[in-house]
Structure 1
């Protein structure tokens, strides 16, 4: 059976994403134009536009389209902004961020995923997204970003991530303990201190934990 991916993409936007109050035209435009089927493993291409967390291997999953759309709308990168993505995965959200911003640096812990995502992005001619293979908890940079998109959950919001924001910048992240997790937007204050950050509650969801940000093991007698 031949799948009309353009039709499936339009249906995803109109039947899944828009009803979840994702109404920003730039976000809807990015989701409506980028070929999601090119970012999923071959075995899952037929369900590329379904309301599913598609497995990527290595314990990772793609974000559901509705979660990706809602998160992109909350973060809302602008044309002249620089974005850091923590957790490249398939590279789909990376491509969306590239469509909305000036420049994207994406960090991926798993070498196979990092290489595959970079190849997909280059094949599609997306030149403003760079993928770097690294464990974000052993990585640092002097560079500062206008926005940060964290694609996996953390038990607690890592302070080190907030330090990579420019004053006035914002970060999308999901935190908490499954099955009760909360998506938030962390706004860094205009001063130098990360302690001046403000947290804006967005919606409830549940994601895989990023390696190194899981809850501490609890022992019971």
Structure 2
């Protein structure tokens, strides 16, 4: 008997997201649609809807569904938005973003992951995602400004280029803290005078954001 991924996906949304307070309908609909098992290596597919992070290629991880949901909900993405993601990884969060936003631009520094994610996302029919191999701490100036920026790696501070590439009124969600330790999720909102307002969410643990304006 094969695994009923559809049933597991419904269960994950109800038990891991809804019961923990995720109530943004666009976010929940995205999680119902995107097949997380597609973004995991063959030997890990059975854990696709487990309540935790899972290993993917190149020693990296795919984040716990609940934490991804918290980050997406905090961004308050609208259907017309343009979103920048830092740290493509397997492409799972990019797919979720693409179900909500109009345009998704995602940067990955590890070539193996960037290539795999781009191929998979195309195969799954996503036409509103662009993948770039590069330094995420510097953002992607070509398509700026962005209404939302999701950073799926931990930084010692918020890189200035990301703030510069954010629209007025836009939000960045980023884990900030020490390398390889527990960090704090921060929501950065760019105000009309160019200043930023920061709000703290929960404690998390992410792989480090490696780049010129982050961890070396």
Give the aligned partner of residue 148 of structure 2: 147
Unaligned runs of 5+ in 2: none
Could you say if the C-alpha distance between residues 12 and 74 of structure 1 is closer, same or farther in structure 2, counting changes exceeding 3 Å? same
Calculate the TM-score normalised by the size of structure 1. 0.91
Distance in 1, matches of 2:138 and 2:83, equals 19
Distance in 2, matches of 1:134 and 1:15, equals 36
Q: CA deviation at 1:112?
A: 1.1
Distance in 2, matches of 1:2 and 1:136, equals 38
CA contact (8 A) 1:21 1:70 kept: no
Distance in 2, matches of 1:173 and 1:201, equals 10
Distance in 1, matches of 2:91 and 2:121, equals 7
Give the aligned partner of residue 198 of structure 2: 199
- The 3-state SS of whatever aligns with 2:19 is helix
Deviations along 1:59-98, one digit per CA (max 9) or x if unpaired, are 3211100101111111121111100001100000000001
Deviations along 1:134-172, one digit per CA (max 9) or x if unpaired, are 122466514210000000111112122111101111101
Q: Indicate whether 1:190 and 2:192 are aligned.
A: yes
CA contact (8 A) 2:137 2:162 kept: no
Could you say if the C-alpha distance between residues 154 and 139 of structure 1 is closer, same or farther in structure 2, counting changes exceeding 3 Å? closer
- The 3-state SS of whatever aligns with 1:152 is coil
Distance in 1, matches of 2:136 and 2:156, equals 15
- The 3-state SS of whatever aligns with 2:69 is helix
Could you say if the C-alpha distance between residues 140 and 35 of structure 1 is closer, same or farther in structure 2, counting changes exceeding 3 Å? closer
Using the TM superposition, name which of 176-185 and 148-157 deviates more. 176-185
Q: Whose Rg is larger?
A: 1
Calculate the TM-score normalised by the size of structure 2. 0.93
- The 3-state SS of whatever aligns with 2:40 is coil
Unaligned runs of 5+ in 1: 217-221
Give the aligned partner of residue 219 of structure 1: none
Aligned 1:1-221 pairs, distance under 5 A: 1-137=1-137, 140-142=140-142, 143-177=144-178, 179-191=181-193, 193=194, 196-212=195-211, 213-214=214-215
Using the TM superposition, name which of 58-67 and 90-99 deviates more. 58-67
Moved over 6 A (4+): none
Using the TM superposition, name which of 169-178 and 85-94 deviates more. 169-178
Aligned residues: 212
